[in-house]
């Protein structure tokens, strides 16, 4: 009996036929997102109120450490996944994430918090990158935008919910230790699911490679990582445009994580309401990706990305311009919508262009640049805030975001052509 067109030796591409494993990975990535969410409301306030850090640049060192380490680990995760398999990388990421909430609970000095965020960066780089790669492996080319939308929606919805819950816990019990108990639960559950139930997805890559055709980039079957880095970062128009947009997008996220809670607190907002604002933005971002990822499969990637960057620029400017809770909430909602337009679409665009043989490494390079935005954002916004004030730092990031959208509009070509209608 002949095998289906999309199967070989029991391997079949697509969301429906791989629903059980895909759903498990969605759940695992929700736990990965929750590990970051435990910090979003509490840590900037902890820096100021518990450890007495007054300079914004000093207070944002935890984001700088997190972003730099996560960026480098993303690159390693892609290369290691191509060489050794996806599952071992995923399990290793969870093992390294287990100490993070304990370090945050017990930290006697700010240096311990920074060390915890080094481990958190490794955890996020290994676990989030690998769940992205595994879902790309399973989904196949036709529904890749939807797959990325589901993945990122799970991670950022859990991040938002955890940011909200930790804000409630901090308002009721204090900044430590209760808010970080959630992180302990996430790490234990994530490790158990990954070690016991997650399956290796490299056979799906090998099968897709047989159907993909020639590598139009001309890198061959097993190109060195150096060549993939140059292509993804600079040479290939769509990949390089996606890399810079990803960096600026996470520069925005670093601003929302580290600067905006301080901006709201300086205006007199209470911690519970800061927690609501900290949750609104990633909540809209998370849920919105359910629609935008699938939409990019229908209308293409380029203009969703450019439009999303411009929407974020408008939202950040609004937050800087107003001075009370409800206008800030409107800005947070708009920022989440713009980020939802961009986030899964960038991943899908990179996957469109990269050959299956080196796709995991290309995703790792893209995520290297994207998550370097955390470190760049923390450094840039911190220096700007210390020199000119928090509002000036927010306006600067708004301008950079608008410029990034222009780069996408000029440099990127459309990477995904929807199937022709009969």
Q: Which residue has the tokens 């289906």?
A: 4
Name the residue among 360, 370, 382 with its Cα closest to residue 72.
370
342 in Cβ contact with 312 (< 8 Å): yes
Res 75: pLDDT: 87
Query: How far is it, in rounded angstroms, from Cα 167 to Cα 262?
Result: 14
Query: How far is it, in rounded angstroms, from Cα 237 to Cα 289?
Result: 25
Q: Give the global pTM.
A: 0.78
Query: How far is it, in rounded angstroms, from Cα 237 to Cα 232?
Result: 8
Name the residue among 243, 215, 252, 347 with its Cα closest to residue 293.
347
**Dihedral over alpha carbons 234, 141, 294, 360 (to 10 degrees):** -50
Query: How far is it, in rounded angstroms, from Cα 263 to Cα 277?
Result: 12
Output 141 or 217, whichever has higher pLDDT.
141
CA distances from 346 to 38, 108, 193, 242, 407 (A): 26, 40, 28, 6, 14
Cα end-to-end distance, the chain, whole Å: 30
Query: How far is it, in rounded angstroms, from Cα 356 to Cα 87?
Result: 18
The percentage of residues in the chain with a pLDDT greater than 70, rounded to a whole number, is 94
User: Which residues lie closer than 8 Å to 243 by C-beta, 6 or more apart?
Assistant: 232, 233, 365, 366, 369, 370
Query: How far is it, in rounded angstroms, from Cα 230 to Cα 221?
Result: 17
Q: Is the pLDDT of residue 224 over 70?
A: yes
What is the full DSSP assignment across 234-245? IISHHHHHHHHH
Q: Is the pLDDT of residue 370 over 80?
A: yes
179 in Cβ contact with 38 (< 8 Å): yes
Say which DSSP state 97 is in.
H
Domains of the chain in sequence order = 17-196+224-411 (1.20.1250.20)
Task: List the beta bridge partners of residue 7.
Answer: 12
Q: How many CB atoms lie within 10 A of CB 37?
A: 28
pLDDT digits (tens, 9 = 90+) for 318-366: 999 998 999 999 999 999 999 999 988 998 999 899 888 788 889 889 9
Res 367: pLDDT: 85
User: Which residues lie closer than 8 Å to 236 by C-beta, 6 or more apart?
Assistant: 217, 353
Q: Is the pLDDT of residue 2 over 80?
A: no
Query: How far is it, in rounded angstroms, from Cα 374 to Cα 253?
Result: 7
Q: How many CA atoms lie within 13 A of 3 on its CB side?
A: 9
pLDDT digits (tens, 9 = 90+) for 32-78: 999 998 888 788 888 878 888 776 777 778 888 888 898 899 889 98
- Mean pLDDT rounded to a whole number for the chain: 87
pLDDT digits (tens, 9 = 90+) for 275-290: 888 888 888 988 898 8
Name the residue among 319, 400, 361 with its Cα closest to residue 215.
361
């Amino acid at each position: 009996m002949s095998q289906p067109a999309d199967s070989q030796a029991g391997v079949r591409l697509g969301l429906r036929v791989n629903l059980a494993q895909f759903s498990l990975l969605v759940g695992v990535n929700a736990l990965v997102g929750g590990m970051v969410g435990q910090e979003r409301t509490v840590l900037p306030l902890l820096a100021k109120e518990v450890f007495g850090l007054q300079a914004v640049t000093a207070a944002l060192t935890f984001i700088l450490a997190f972003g730099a380490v996560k960026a480098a680990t993303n690159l390693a995760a892609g290369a290691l996944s191509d060489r050794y398999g996806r599952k071992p990388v995923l399990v290793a990421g969870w093992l390294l994430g287990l100490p993070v909430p304990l370090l945050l609970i017990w930290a006697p000095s700010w240096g311990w918090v920074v060390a915890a965020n080094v481990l958190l960066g490794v955890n996020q780089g290994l676990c989030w990158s690998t769940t992205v790669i595994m879902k790309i492996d399973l989904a196949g080319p036709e529904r890749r935008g939807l797959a990325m939308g589901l993945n990122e929606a799970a991670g950022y919805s859990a991040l938002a919910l955890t940011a909200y819950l930790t804000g409630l816990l901090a308002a009721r019990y204090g900044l430590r230790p209760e808010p970080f108990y959630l992180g302990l639960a996430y790490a234990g559950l994530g490790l158990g699911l990954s070690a016991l139930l997650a399956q290796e997805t490299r056979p799906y890559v090998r099968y897709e490679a047989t159907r993909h055709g020639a590598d139009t980039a001309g890198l061959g079957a097993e190109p060195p990582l150096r060549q993939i880095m140059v292509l993804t970062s600079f040479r290939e128009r769509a990949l390089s445009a996606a890399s810079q947009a990803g960096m600026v997008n996470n520069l925005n996220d670093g601003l929302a994580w580290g600067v905006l809670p301080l901006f709201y607190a300086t205006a007199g907002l209470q911690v519970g309401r800061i927690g609501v604002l900290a949750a609104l933005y990633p909540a809209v971002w998370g849920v919105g990706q359910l629609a935008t990822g699938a939409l990019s499969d229908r209308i293409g990637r380029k203009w969703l990305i450019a439009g999303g960057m411009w929407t974020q620029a408008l939202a950040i400017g609004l937050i800087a311009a107003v001075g009370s809770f409800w206008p800030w909430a409107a800005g947070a909602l708009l920022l989440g919508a713009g980020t939802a337009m961009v986030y899964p679409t960038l991943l899908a665009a990179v996957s469109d262009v990269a050959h299956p043989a080196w796709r995991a490494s290309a995703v790792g390079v893209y995520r290297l640049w994207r998550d370097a935005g955390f470190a760049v954002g923390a450094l840039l916004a911190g220096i700007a805030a210390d020199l000119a004030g928090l509002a000036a730092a927010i306006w600067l990031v708004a301008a950079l975001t608008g410029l990034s959208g222009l780069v996408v509009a000029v440099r990127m070509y459309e990477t995904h052509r929807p199937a022709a209608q009969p």
